[in-house]
Chains A and B, each alone.
Chain A
Amino acid sequence: MAAETAEQATVAAAGGSDLTLANLWARVVVPGLMLAFFAEAGLLAKPWLGEGYASLIFVLGITLIGAVAGLMTAVICALLGSLIFNFVIAEPVWQIAFTRHSDFATPAVFIACAVISGLMSGRLRDETRRARTTNRQLQTLLEISRSLQGAETAPAIQAVLRATLARSGAMVPALFQLDQQGLVPVGANPGPAWSELAARAVASVAEMLREGPLVATALSGGHGLVGALVIEGPDDELSVGNFLPALSRVTALALERAELAAAITEAQAQSRAEELKTTLLSSISHDLRTPLTTISTSAASLLAFQGEIDPDTARELLDGIVGECDRLNRLTANLLEMSRLQAGEEALHPAVLPVAEMVRSRVSQLRQHSPGHRFDFTAPDGELHVSADPALFELALGNVLENAVKFSPPDGAIAIACLRREGSCAITVTDTGPGIPRAEQERVFERFYRAADARHGPRGTGLGLAIARGFVKASGGDIAITSPVAEGRGTTLTITLPLAGEDEPEGTDG
């Protein structure tokens, strides 16, 4: 089909269907001048070389005209040349005479030469043109497939096609993707005519559908239909041969690869979520069972061995029950707040909170709870207000403070400060624990991460700091760890929260 079309193009050109000035020059003036030149040369050579050699000069001229101007012109020139030769050179001179055998042979040879040289030069031109077309098609395909390798998404593929096709032929492509909803344009909708042609291309089995300036082709990759490609204004040179089918195949494969990549990413995200859920469930069930075991064992001991247990031990068991109930309660609160954080911002109800007051009240609670530890609270900048969810703020603060208590030695000191820092409110909590190795500093914020040597005191849920970070991030703040603080020990946790609209509090308390 390619060769056929190319030949039609050549014939149309040779027929001179469009007689422009350039055509007139190349087809009429130049051959005419050449013919006149060689006729004059033949005339001049005749007295020296005789009639036979003069005819050879005519043959040379007609062959050259065939090579330069093509078949038709050469044949016309051969006929014209025969008459001129017969009239001015062949004996008898100055009359047209067909009396001798050579009077017939000469025009036959002229025409044969014209046909042979015209055909040969025409084929050469066809070959050149075809080679040029193929080269341009290959260059474009190569450029597209090279650029498509970096295109990971449908819009990226669309962009590559746009850029390359616009550069190599003023074409405008539109990509359509086949999904559950049907055929969807990638990016902006190019218009109803495009969509309609794309849909027809997908529905029909035809390789190419043409309508006006549009060409549409269905895109089928290794696993079936993936979409359609519509191109506006592919020129004659790019419309021929395998260019459009090859382009559609390359595009289909790229699109399919992008879809598979997206599916894999989604599957991975899903399996990660699933894994997280499993970890969450097994961790929660473990964390629920541990306090439950203590409660049920203590209660069962008290019931079964009432007489044999001394009052002090009984008191200890009852304390244990109360403590573990408290722990269960905290675990439940943490879990609920965690799910609220995960539900997104709509689930949060921010209010303007007095940070210094809330921290101070929490610290005084802890003082009663852990009488061995020393707590130093300072608020050098007075009351500071932030906008945050109150329940989450309480919980996050509690988690950070309890963490500090848990990792400090039984008589250790914990320093808490609440201050203004670069337009934000900073809460710092510094413990006198063993510190956190640099490698673990980021991991402590992960869910279910538990420090390796948190062996004394009740074990945590592994949710505390994860919730603190979730809360701080959701409130537009930041949380950071500095460790060690002094002499290779101690950890400072700093929470920064944006100050609520600068309405200065009336009192400054220190």
Chain B
Amino acid sequence: MSGAHILLVDDEPGIVTALRPALKAAGHTVSVARDGNEAIAGAANLDPDVVLLDLGLPDMDGKEVISRIRRQANTPIIVVSARHQESEKIAALDLGADDYVDKPFVLGILLARIRAAMRRRGGGPAEPPGAFQSGRLTIDFATREVRVDGQPVKLSPKEYNLLAALAESAGQVVTQRRLLAAGWGRSEADPQYLRVYMGLLRQKLEVNPAEPELILTEPGVGYRLAV
């Protein structure tokens, strides 16, 4: 995969200094914004492939930056923040962020999340992909056929809708609200249903449902389909 153009938004000079060489070494080009206004201007003018966004910015809250960027562009936004409260993460995702990574992060994971965001951007939301394939899991969106290790798996319509919603953003966290909307048509449905159905999906898809490797829980936020 070719390198991405990354807009790194952080007001901590130390983090910019530390991250820039790693991103460059991984084949990406890096632009830096030090506050919210620079980030919004950069997202509009530099046309980055991915935005890495810190939430604690000196001039405005990072969440404000997310909604302002979303008004103009569909650029993938990965929140990279030291705020670990679930409410902050959910708010950021609901405002249109694609993913989040906790600070301090493992460098390899951050790079993998950037790759996942790139893949999604490559597919593009305009033309839905005909099929999804990752590891042991294959989904044919046209025939709604799901296979694990080549063996067909029978899913109920709700289970399929949930899995498809996860696969659409494979590798990224999908909030409970989005999953509830995908499965039940109402984002304010009881998250308890979600736990039950994710359990059923794991029964059918995971090698060991007690130690899921495919459908991962993001505690308090949602679920993520591993890629």
> Contact residues of A with B, CB < 8 Å?
282, 285-286, 289-298, 300-301, 304-305, 308-309, 313, 316-317, 320, 323-324, 452-455, 457-459
| Neighbour of B14 across the interface among A291, A305, A308, CB < 8 A | A291
Is residue B158 within 8 Å, beta carbon to beta carbon, of the partner chain?
no
Q: How far is the CB of A186 from chain B (nearest CB, A)?
A: 47
Q: Tell me the chain B residues, 12-53 only, with Cβ under 8 Å from chain A.
A: 12-15, 17-19, 21-22, 24-26, 34-35
Beyond A282-B85, A304-B108, A317-B21, 19 additional pairs, beta carbon < 8 A: A290-B82, A290-B103, A291-B14, A293-B15, A293-B104, A293-B105, A294-B12, A294-B18, A297-B105, A300-B107, A305-B21, A305-B25, A308-B24, A313-B21, A316-B21, A320-B18, A323-B14, A454-B58, A459-B12
> Could you say which of A294, A301, A320, A452 contacts B25, with CB atoms under 8 Å apart?
A301
Given that A309-B21, A458-B13 are contacting pairs, would A296 and B104 also be in contact in the complex, using a CB cutoff of 8 Å? yes
Q: In this complex, which of A293, A301, A305, A313 has the most chain B Cβ atoms within 10 angstroms of its Cβ?
A: A293
Interface size class of B (residues with CB under 8 A): 20 to 34
Chain B residues, Cβ within 8 Å of A452: 58
B residues near A308, Cβ cutoff 8 Å: 24-25
Residue B71 at the chain A interface, CB threshold 8 Å: no
In contact, A301 and B107 (Cβ under 8 angstroms): yes
Select the residue from A289, A292, A453 with max chain B CB neighbours within 10 A.
A289
CA distance A292 to B82 in the complex (A): 10
Interface string of B83-102 (1 = CB under 8 A from A): 11100000000000000000
Chain A contacts for B206, CB-based, 8 A = none
A458–B10 Cα distance when bound, in Å, is: 12
Residues of B within 8 A of A316 (CB): 17, 21
A454 partner residues in chain B, CB cutoff 8 A: 58
Query: 4 closest Cβ contacts across the A-B interface?
Result: A305-B25, A301-B22, A300-B107, A294-B14
B-side residues, CB < 8 A to A, are 11-15, 17-19, 21-22, 24-26, 34-35, 56, 58-59, 82-85, 103-108
Judge whether A304 and B104 touch: CB under 8 Å.
no
Q: In the bound complex, do residue B82 and residue A305 qualify as a contact, i.e. CB atoms below 8 Å apart?
A: no
In the complex, the answer to whether A300 meets B17 with C-beta atoms within 8 Å is no
What residues of B have a CB within 8 angstroms of the CB of A320 in the complex?
Answer: 14, 17-18
Q: Which single residue of chain A is at the shortest CB-CB distance from B111? A: A304
Question: Within the complex, what minimum Cβ distance (angstroms) separates A372 from chain B?
Answer: 15
* B22 CB contact (under 8 Å) in A293, A300, A455, A459: A300
Residue of A nearest to B34 (CB): A455
Question: In the complex, A293 Cα to B34 Cα: how many Å?
Answer: 17
Residue in B83, B84, B104 whose CB lies within 8 Å of A297:
B104
Q: Kindly report which residue of chain A lies nearest to residue B102, judged by CB atoms.
A: A289
What is the CA–CA distance of A292 and B104 in the complex, to the nearest angstrom? 6
Q: Is B106's CB under 8 angstroms from A300's CB?
A: yes
Residues of A with C-beta under 8 A to B18: 293-295, 297-298, 301, 317, 320
A448 CB to nearest B CB, Å: 13
